[in-house]
Amino acid sequence: MDGFLDLLTLPAVQRSAIGLLIAAVGLPIVGVFIIGLDIIAVRFAMMHVALLGIAVGLLIGVDPMLCGLLACAIAGAGVAPLAHRPTGLPGAMGLLMTFAIAAALLVLSVSGVNATGAFELLWGSILATRDVDLIILGALTVVVHVLFWRWRRQLALLLFDREIALCSGVAAGPLLLALLVVVAVAIGASIRLTGALLVDALTILPALGARNLGRSLRSMVLWAIALGVTGNSIGFVVALLLDQPPGPVLVLVAGTLTLLTYLIPEGARDAIDPGHRVDRGGDPVPAGQRL
Amino acid sequence: MTAAAITFSGVTCRYGRRTAVDGVDLDVAAGEHVALTGANGSGKTTLLRAALGLYPTTTGSITVGGRPAVTGAEWARRRRDVAWVPQRLAPGRFPLLVDELLDSGGNPVAARAAAAQLDVAGLGSRPLHTLSGGQLQRVFLARALGAVAAGARALFADEPTAALDFHGQEQVAALLAALPVTVVVVSHDRAMSRACDRVAEMAAGKLRLV
Ligand SMILES: Nc1ncnc2c1ncn2[C@@H]1O[C@H](COP(=O)(O)OP(=O)(O)OP(=O)(O)O)[C@@H](O)[C@H]1O
Ligand SMILES: [Mg+2]
């Protein structure tokens, strides 16, 4: 226990704890978007797209990470027009991944940069979090929250059904574009900041659990954040106590939490939903007249 | 609430090489109620979706209140002008609450009153995927009535009574008949045709009046 408290006084450990907490508040929302858009493969796609960007950056001598994120943003925007087909987005992720890796290998071979060096730039570790990483994570979290809370009604309709959204005056095209760019950049940046393994634990896993618990977009987002914060806190503490790398421990903890949500029977959701309010904003029909 | 005249002129829609709608001409006067019937696969849904910009026309034009729609802003206006009850009620890839759908029509108070009239009050905080087929249809209808109250000048209802019990079919026929806006309703049910001013029939993509 003393060892544990000693660890907590280390600046690196403190920074990674703060980083995980910020990530737990922001990234689960990205995960909910990912599940809503049915693009779980986005992480693999963005990994390779970022690598392509890094390779191009190394070739032309511009900051490789910046190029990596730019490549993610462009790729996210690029797949938006495919969204009107039912399989457009999920298919596009696979396509992106193979295209990007092929292009990246070509660029690396042309530039003569060795591939391992480029890959290393892409990889992060939560224990190596720097102050600038915390700022980037914080900024990402703010952007994701603003996007969600400002447009949550429109997003709920869009993720439910694109045509109903269109017929409800939602600017489906621009909103989808914003969503895809934010998701792509957030995933790209998180891989750099936390490592690829942790990205899943921070995004997809809480969102999958929330899908089982929440009954609306809003309640899913709240559940996802709750699961994210719980999983990260427990995982981080356990990793420190056992003196093991946080990545795998966090994934196992988050995975276990997610698995537990599958044990809840469907009908039981009503009782545990934090977003559940029977009387939302004044029912115009007096109770006595209800059938 | 003013009603809008609707004109279809020479409208053709294709899915690949299959012609689903084949040179349809139809004038619907402002405030007129038209029942659209015809065999399965004759092109009714495609025609209405084309008018909402949800499927492209190959040739021809559709105006509502004399206005064509080409630009994004014009389509946005078209979708405000025309309330819509889709045939294939979205199964919901993602959860949405009944109230959220009702509110999306633009007039939450009117939509909830319509929901009460259609016997689906009190379902507001349920996710749509937990409703029965008939309940879901009633909620989509209530949403469209909310859109009419919000200023839509026409209503396209694509088989709005397909999932309803007999009482519900009569109820909805009466509700639509009382609407002061232009109505095009796809229906195979006679109570609905009787409640309309005119019946138009589609066969293999072509339209004829009966
Ligand atoms: N997405 C699609 N892709 C290819 N063909 C389609 C598609 N949707 C409809 N069709 C075809 O277009 C034709 C017209 O379909 P539509 O849905 O407009 O008919 P409908 O009159 O509404 O039929 P129903 O009474 O069964 O609703 C049919 O032959 C149908 O098979
Ligand atoms: Mg149809």
Residue B206, strand partner residues: B203
| Residues A143-201: tens digit of each pLDDT | 999 999 999 999 999 999 889 999 999 998 899 999 999 988 888 888 877 777 788 88
| Residues B131-171: tens digit of each pLDDT | 888 999 999 999 999 999 999 999 999 999 988 888 888 89
Short-list B139, B106, B100, B107, CA closest to A219: B100
Reduced to 3 states (helix: H, G, I; strand: E, B; else coil), residue B127 is strand
User: Given this model, what pLDDT does residue A285 score?
Assistant: 41
Q: Residue A219's closest chain B neighbor by CA? A: B95
User: Given this model, what pLDDT does residue A1 score?
Assistant: 60
Count up the domains in chain B and report the number: 1
User: Given this model, what pLDDT does residue A269 score?
Assistant: 61
- DSSP code per residue over chain A: -HHHHHHHTSHHHHHHHHHHHHHHHHHHHHHHHHHHHT-TTHHHHHHHHHHHHHHHHHHHTS-HHHHHHHHHHHHHHHHGGGGGSTTHHHHHHHHHHHHHHHHHHHHHHHHT--HHHHHHHH---GGG--HHHHHHHHHHHHHHHHHHHHSHHHHHHHHH-HHHHHHTT--HHHHHHHHHHHHHHHHHHHHHHH-HHHHHHHTHHHHHHHHHH-SSHHHHHHHHHHHHHHHHHHHHHHHHHHT--HHHHHHHHHHHHHHHHTTS-GGGHHHH-TT--SS-S--SS-GGG--
- B40 C-beta closer than 6 A to ligand 1: yes
CATH number of the domain residue A39 falls in: 1.10.3470.10
Which chain B residues have a beta carbon less than 8 Å from that of A160?
A: 90, 92-96, 101, 128
Whether A265 maps to a domain, the answer reads yes
Instruction: Give the strand order in the sheet containing B33-38.
Output: B82-85, B154-158, B182-186, B33-38, B198-203, B206-209
Interface test with B, best of A33, A161, A218 (most B CBs within 10 A): A161
User: Given this model, what pLDDT does residue B42 score?
Assistant: 93
Asked whether the beta carbons of B134 and B128 are under 8 A apart, the reply is no
Whether B113 maps to a domain, the answer reads yes
Averaged pLDDT for residues A77-103: 82
Whether A290 maps to a domain, the answer reads no
Whether A220 maps to a domain, the answer reads yes
Least confident of A24-28, A30-34, A283-287: A283-287
What is the length of chain A?
A: 291
Percent of chain B whose predicted confidence (pLDDT) is above 70:
97
Amino acid at A145: H
Whether B36 maps to a domain, the answer reads yes
Whether A229 maps to a domain, the answer reads yes
Whether A154 maps to a domain, the answer reads yes
Q: How confident is the model at residue A279 (pLDDT cuts 50, 70, 90)?
A: very low
User: Given this model, what pLDDT does residue A273 score?
Assistant: 47
Count up the domains in chain A and report the number: 1
> pLDDT: is A3 or B122 the higher one?
B122
Domain range holding B89?
6-209
Lookup: tokens for A69 = 């994120």
Rounded to two decimals, the pTM is 0.87
CATH number of the domain residue B168 falls in: 3.40.50.300
Which chain B residues have a beta carbon less than 8 Å from that of A171?
A: 76
Lookup: tokens for B202 = 């589609």
The pLDDT of residue B89 is above 70: yes
- B49 C-beta closer than 6 A to ligand 1: no
Instruction: Give the strand order in the sheet containing B6-15.
Output: B18-28, B6-15, B59-64
- B45 C-beta closer than 6 A to ligand 1: yes
Whether B139 maps to a domain, the answer reads yes
Q: How confident is the model at residue B1 (pLDDT cuts 50, 70, 90)?
A: low
Which chain B residues have a beta carbon less than 8 Å from that of A36?
A: 93-94
User: Looking at ligand 1, which residue's alpha carbon is closest to its atom 6?
Assistant: B15
- Rounded Cα distance between B121 and A134, Å, is 48
Q: In this complex, do B113 and A220 lie within 8 Å of one another by their Cβ atoms? A: no
Average confidence score pLDDT of chain B? 91
Short-list A229, A214, A216, CA closest to A269: A214
* Cα distances (angstroms) measured from residue B201 to each of A144, B99, B131: 50, 35, 32
Asked whether the beta carbons of A202 and A25 are under 8 A apart, the reply is no
Domain range holding A267?
2-272
- Rounded Cα distance between A11 and A15, Å, is 6
Lookup: tokens for A95 = 């396509």
The pLDDT of residue A4 is above 80: no
Whether A279 maps to a domain, the answer reads no
Q: In this complex, do A163 and B76 lie within 8 Å of one another by their Cβ atoms? A: no
Whether B173 maps to a domain, the answer reads yes
- Rounded Cα distance between A112 and B16, Å, is 47
